[in-house]
Structure 1
Amino acid sequence: MTDAPERRTTLWVILASATLTVMAGAILGPIVPAIQSGLGVSESNAGLIITTHGALIVLVSPIAGALIDRVGPRRPFIFGLLLYAAGGGAGLVVDSFGPLLASRAVLGVGVAFVYTGITVLIYQLYEGQRMERALGLRSSANSVGAVIWPLVGGALGTLSWQAPFGVYLVALPLGLLAVATIPETGIRGASSRTDAKSGLAGVLAVFRRRPGLLSVYLLYFGANVLLYSIVIFYPQLLAGLGITSSLSISLYLAANGLAGGVSAAVYDRLIERTSRHALVAAALGLWLVSFAGATVAGSALTAVPSVVAFGLGLGLVFPSAFAWIEALAPAGRQGQFSSYLASAGYTGQFLSPVLFGPLVPLFGVRGVFGAAATAAMLGIVALAVVRGR
């Protein structure tokens, strides 16, 4: 791919769209109490407004991936942006719980198509080092979105609980830009006879032939489980240190996102000098240091390195996972197998509080980070075993 101006515009549309997949839930995080009050619902029901789209992403992503393999990524990607605007922006005018929950389901379907569409567009529009750079920038855009969109949501939430829903409408002009700038890539290649079997039997046949795919999904699942251990439980750790204001807590989480954005932005330069396995090993080492540090942090200052170290590692793991899928997925089925990555990631986010939550009453919130440090250590051991074979 050349560096022509129109191609650079295409990349910017893709990267801007990548921030939307993070924004889907993050922009409403700061206004959950306002949503609860505005709708007159319980805290758990207000939380469903934030999480429902994630369940739809897990369920719909494989469908989106299969469609992308059939018709190419351009049209499903644009369709996803339009659904995103409709489902997300509906909150501006919907003021009752049931219809709002339904609109969040529509949003989740849109995110599924956008998320997998972005992945396959990068695979097909870029090659070699340019693809590595685009994947790194995509992860960097996600991290920057995780910093910016919650701040936007919090600011608009001071106007009304419905105002932040208007930001979802940014997907509409992005969809129009995509129509003008995203080229039709067509359908690449064809799978081998063994890899082309349909249904569950075909998927299992691919996994038998390419077992590395399962390792990538497990890595991405685990990374998201650990990410949400920070998102959900680090504020509790900070509260124990006397840091309770929402602004102060948001600064720690912003530091995590910014650190991930920095490491992801230089991912392509790092991959020129070393291997993906080495980068993932470095990330696991950073996570071990991060979570071990969280278990002993005793002040506002000593709590900073843990979130920074975790973010730096995340910025190395995410683009590595996407690049491995591009290398391992059968030709002509990149949409299908990259969609499983999306499902694995959002499942990890959903299960994180389920896996770590029971540890809090038993060992306190620091026990969560002790368990996370153990998981990082096990990851290092598993990677060493795999590399040693």
Structure 2
Amino acid sequence: MAGAILGPVVPQIQTGVGVSESLAGLIITTHAAFIVLTSPVAGILVDRFGPRRPFIGGLLLYAVGGGTGLVIDDFIPLLVSRAVLGVGVAFVYTGITVLIYDLYEGQQMNRALGLRSGANSVGGAVWPLVGGGLGTVSWQLPFGVYLIALPLGLAAIATIPPTTRETGVPTTQNESSSDNSHTGSNGLAAIASGFQRQPALLLIYLLYFGTNAFLYAIVVYYPQLLETVGVTSSLWIGLYLTVNGIAGGVSGTLYDRLKSRVDARFLVLVAFILWTIAFGTAASVNSPIGLVIPVALFGFGVGLVFPSAFIWIEALAPKQLQGQFSSYLAMAGYIGQFVSPILFGVFVSPFGIRGVFIAAALFASVGMATLSLAVLTSLRRSSVKDQS
């Protein structure tokens, strides 16, 4: 919701506050910058006080920062409110993640993370339609939707129990031993130690960065691709992007069932295969109907990758630092969204708009090949270990 709900009304915001097009764009991007800047702080506070209170506080900031746009019609105060929204998102994002880690385990955690990913994808499809509809009445009215965070905050106060991080009482022997194994570490030294113990964490952040970069390549450049086949209506363009979100919602909802049958590495490998096919199809198909396929395939892959990344963070990060390591995942994702137009934009001038999707297909195929090699290597090691 944070950025998507205002996307359709940027031109009206520009007129309403009397600024240039580029300055109006800051209304969409400022919150993302503050998510990146404040996510580490959110992670530290979640680790120190538990996820419940930072999550609830984040919802309050979310409502204040987002909802004040209902009554603000001056550019600078509106920009400040978007910064407050970004801080709220950082706390909500990390708080949700660690709450799921603390309240669920095993198959239930897989399901919760899958549903979280599915909700994100469906929200990305629904909220632009809501924002566009409300924007036909007033450019300020879409800001009112952010106030939904207030009843959600009250529901969180009433229903979310304190977790072991908040009470300090471990519920299992494994939790206790995990915590004790790291009691000598703190601050930057503990973070550095975590990366040293589990260098694969960096690959997870790279995966999340790349997934979000691919996602925003679709968001930014797919409308231009659709124009080449005669699809110019904003309504129809929005429906194509809605297909992407719905597909991600479906795979996210099914994630725990898929995860119970195959390892997360295989699910991510399937995602890379789907993305390679999707981007290759986008680069070659010349019909409006054919261009539905790439967004559906890409969305389905996103619903497999996002929960897998969170599962790996939960498994690899030291328990008492999961807030901070989860916050870095949020940073990687939003940085990926920010640099995506720059990363893929360099291919437009020499190769045209389809060059963006040729490049994305090549990047996805490299990821597919790399992951295939890693999976085969791990299978070989497991086979050797079993034989010995």
TM norm structure 2? 0.93
**Structure 1 counterpart of 2:188, from 200, 213, 225:** 200
Q: Residues 53 and 105 of structure 1 are in contact (CA less than 8 Å); yes or no, is this contact kept in structure 2?
A: yes
What's the CA shift for 1:191? 4.0
Alpha carbons 2:182, 2:318 under 8 Å: kept:
no
Structure 1 length normalisation: TM-score? 0.92
Gaps of 5+ in 1: 1-22
- Give the partner amino acid of 2:50: G
Greater gyration radius:
2
Pairing partner for 1:289 from 257, 262, 277: 277
- Are 1:342 and 2:333 counterparts? no
- CA drift of 1:332 comes to 1.1
Counterpart CA distance in 2 for 1:40 and 1:155 is 22
Please state if 1:85 is matched with 2:63: yes
1:72 aligns with 2:50: yes
CA gap of 1:196–1:114, structure 2 versus 1, over 3 A, is farther
Superposed counterparts of 1:131-280, under 5 Å? 131-187=109-165, 189=175, 191=179, 197-280=185-268
1:295-343 superposed Cα distances (whole Å, 9 cap, x missing partner): 0110101111000000010000000001111101102111111111001
Structure 2: 5+ residue runs without aligned partners?
A: 379-388
What is the letter of the counterpart of residue 32 of structure 2? G
Offset at 1:59?
Answer: 1.0
Deviation at 1:211, TM superposition (A): 1.1
Residue 60 (str. 1) matches residue 38 (str. 2)? yes
Counterpart-to-counterpart distance in 1, 2:319 and 2:141: 44
Distance in 1 (CA, whole Å) between partners of 2:154 and 2:266 is: 40
Structure 1 residue identity aligned to 2:109: M
208-217 or 228-237: bigger deviation: 208-217
288, 309, 326: which one pairs with 1:300? 288
Structure 2 Cα separation of the partners of residues 206 and 372 of structure 1 = 32
Question: C-alpha separation between the residues in 1 aligned to 2:184 and 2:128?
Answer: 42
Q: Supply the distance in 2 between the matched residues of 1:147 and 1:193 (Cα, whole angstroms).
A: 43
The alpha carbon displacement at 1:192 in A equals 5.4
How far 1:202 sits from its partner (Å)? 2.8
- The one-character-per-residue Cα deviations of 1:52-73 (angstroms, maximum 9, x if unpaired) are 0001111111110110111111
Q: Aligned letter for 1:220?
A: Y
Residue 103 of structure 1 aligns to which amino acid in structure 2?
Answer: S
Q: What is the alpha-carbon root mean square deviation over aligned residues?
A: 1.2
CA-CA distance at 1:204 after TM superposition: 2.1
Letter in 2 for 1:127: E
Letter in 2 for 1:204: A
Residues 193-202 or 129-138, more deviating: 193-202
Moved over 2 A (4+): 188-202, 384-387
Question: Counterpart of 2:164 in 1: which secondary structure?
Answer: coil
- Equivalent pairs counted in the alignment come to 367
Matched, 1:38 2:16: yes
Give the fraction of aligned pairs with identical amino acids, expressed as a percent. 64
Q: Does 1:122 align with 2:100?
A: yes
The 8 Å contact of residues 195 and 330 in structure 1, kept in 2 or not, is answered as no
